[in-house]
Amino acid sequence: MRITTWVIAMMTGILFAALSSAEGAGRITGRVLDAVTQIPVIGATVTVEGTRLLARTTTDGAFVIPNVPAGSYTVRVEAAGLTTAKQRITVVTGRTATVDFQMARLRELSSEAESATPLAGAPAAREQRAVKDAAKFSLATPGRTEIQCLTPPMSWPSPGFESYEVIEENGWFEARERPLSTFSVDVDAASYGNVRRFITRGQLPPTDAVRIEELVNYFDYDYPNPRGRHPFSITTEVAECPWNGDNMLVHIGLQGARIDVDELPPSNLVFLIDVSGSMDQPNKLPLLKSSFRMLVDQLREQDRVAIVVYAGAAGLVLPPTSGSDKEEILCALERLQAGGSTAGGAGLQLAYQVAQGSFFEDGNNRIILATDGDFNVGMSSDGDMVRLIEEKRKTGVFLTVLGFGEGNLKDSKMEKIADHGDGHYAYIDNLNEARKVLVNEMGAAVLTIAKDVKLQVEFNPARVSSYRLIGYENRVLNDRDFDDDTKDAGEIGAGHAVTALYELTLTVQQGRSGKPLKYSHLTVKDDARRSAELLTVSFRYKQPTASESNLLSVVVKDRNTSFANASHDFRFSAAVAEYGMILRDSRERGHATMEHVIATARSARGEDVHGYRAEFVTLAEMTERLMTPSVGLR
């Protein structure tokens, strides 16, 4: 294997040298690491000064800049929360010049100066300029865990208090007694970015920070684009369950219509940006600005952008401006500074007012809220905030929530705001993630193609003994809600995919309870006994401006497929779910191991255009190293 690898590398080098010589160019490669932890810096921007050449680091911190004309250059590396690094390098025609970087954290370098001399415009000074007559915003919401991390590893800033909704894992149901399973779809993927943030800091995440459906839905799957009048396709697959070989696993995939950015309707966007004192950290407002620059680069002349900010009070920084005036938009972003308390309610009200004032009847109208979620001034409760958002969503303005930072991250609040605002929630922990959300998935980020999307599965009790839904705990609906068009549910953007997994026991096995009923006798139709059908998947959705829903259904038949022979998508999604169950120390994890997760995910990477699946393998390997068998997971 080593000889083969050496030969391939040598031939690749010869071919590159030949091509580069013909063009009179060389290339620059290297790696970027955190100077303290030696963890790769993902998504750093590497620029050759004086040229338009640049690259971004991959999941292992590596970068490659090809076709660099021969000469001497300064190579600059930038990443949010880290110092800018530069090195001088000489490029020779047909050769590879290698330069590695060790980047220091801004907080460490500035700590002495901050303690010695208060800076002009520091949080305390800016706080005095904020509005003082506001009530405290309560964070003591029932049903939410408060996580305090007192001993952060490897000298990272203390996470302090972070809040997450308590998740009670879905249990098993007998198909005879409860043949229907109903839930609202969820396209949020914030949990994956948040889990990655903990793991790359050398720390296991809190149990309730791990939402398995968001881990699974972080990734793209090779579902077919829809055909016909419905903007969705439905894909199903059944195979052996990898963590319990006696059971079966059902994979259900919904794919929203993919739309070219050039074909998107005009967008009326309001950037609602938290500039309160809690955002005055390198991985908050500076990362936020860099992230929004990427989105601004994608805007067209027909698009409009306004910027509303909130701290002690809310204000309009940029009135609705054409997407062609990028310089004006970027200048407004660059001028933003953090300081003051957090009048989130006033900011939301002003943002909705601005969005309604420049409303596109046949376009996309959306507020993009960027915050750490620490609303502490204004409305007195989560209930007040939710009621405001539920009222405003009737105007046709959708809401996307982007979370930033650590230490006081209010994950539960941001998820709730997005769910009730007909939008979705993503967590931005680095520039690579910003590019995924705001560039690669821009259509899904800004254009809703369906709202109130619900999924209902009816199990054939002649074939299925019992079942459990993996994840979606906070999205479960009553069965009667499926046909109720007044019931709010999830939203799907252009190109969004939704994946759900069910674990089943079949009737050839002993049921999980087997207990006969005292007062009734449930019967199974003869047709069901003769049928090879395991279940029927039904799917309801509304057009973005409609009040009545549309229905799609597909039948899933019994198939005797081994896990090894299942598709790449099936095996990869199962590996991600297995990873989530291990992190949550699930009672249903069976024989799940991190070793199996890594091996499965590596073999099921498939095409992996953007490298997200490869990053997951690296993340699982890092997680495995953090777990010590002698102590256990928790």
Give residue 262's Cα distance to chain centre.
24
Does residue 55 fall inside a structural domain?
yes
Same domain, yes or no: 424 and 292: yes
Please return the burial class of 442, using the count of CB atoms within 10 Å of its CB with bins 0-12, 13-18 and 19+: buried
For residue 310, count other CB atoms closer than 10 A to its CB.
Answer: 29
Cα Rg, the chain, nearest whole Å: 26
Give Cβ neighbours of residue 93 (< 8 Å, ≥ 6 apart): 20, 21, 24, 25, 26, 70
What sign results for the dihedral spanned by CA atoms 225, 227, 232, 233? negative
Arithmetic mean of pLDDT over the chain: 81
211 three-state secondary structure: coil
Q: Do residue 297 and residue 382 come from a single domain?
A: yes
Same-domain pairing of 408 and 385: yes
Residue 343 lies in a domain: yes
Q: How far apart are CA 63 and CA 99, in angstroms?
A: 10
Tell me whether residue 389 is in a domain.
yes
Chain centre distance of CA 576: 14
What whole-number distance in Å separates Cα of residue 614 and Cα of residue 487?
A: 39
Q: Are residues 221 and 335 in the same domain?
A: no
Closest alpha carbon to 173 in 476, 454, 452, 475: 476
H-state helical runs in 285-441: 285-297, 326-334, 344-357, 382-392, 411-420, 431-435
For residues 397 and 276, state if they share a domain. yes
Residue 553 has pLDDT above 60, yes or no: yes
Domain membership of residue 242 as a residue range: 170-259+449-513+521-573
pLDDT at 509 over 90: no
Our CA angle for 460, 465, 468, nearest 5°, is 95
pTM above threshold 0.85? no
Largest CA distance in the chain: 87
Residues 278 and 337 in one domain: yes
Residues 562 and 488 in one domain: yes
Residue 155 lies in a domain: no
Q: Let me know if residue 509 belongs to a domain.
A: yes
- Is 206 a domain residue? yes
Q: Is 410 found in the same domain as 303?
A: yes
Predicted confidence (pLDDT) at residue 3 exceeds the cutoff of 80: no
pLDDT class for 470, splitting at 50, 70, 90?
very high
* Percentage of the chain modeled with pLDDT above 90: 49
pLDDT in tens, 244-263: 999 999 999 999 998 887 78
Residue 530 has pLDDT above 70, yes or no: no
pLDDT-derived band of residue 385, with 50, 70 and 90 as boundaries? Answer: confident
Q: What CATH number is attached to the domain comprising 177?
A: 2.60.40.1230
Residue 281 lies in a domain: yes
Q: What is the mean pLDDT of residues 557-563?
A: 86
Does 402 score more than 80 pLDDT?
yes
CATH code for position 94: 2.60.40.1120
Residue 624 belongs to some domain of the structure = no
Q: How many domains does the chain have?
A: 3
Residues 414, 301 within the same domain: yes
Token pair of 453, please?
A: 């999307």
Is 60 exceeded by the pLDDT of residue 196?
Answer: yes
Q: Based on the fold, state whether residues 249 and 315 are members of the same structural domain.
A: no
With tokens 């690491």, the residue in question is: 33
Four-point Cα dihedral 262, 263, 268, 273, nearest 10: -50
Query: Are 426 and 396 in the same domain?
Result: yes
Q: Looking at the structure, do residues 425 and 277 belong to the same domain, yes or no?
A: yes
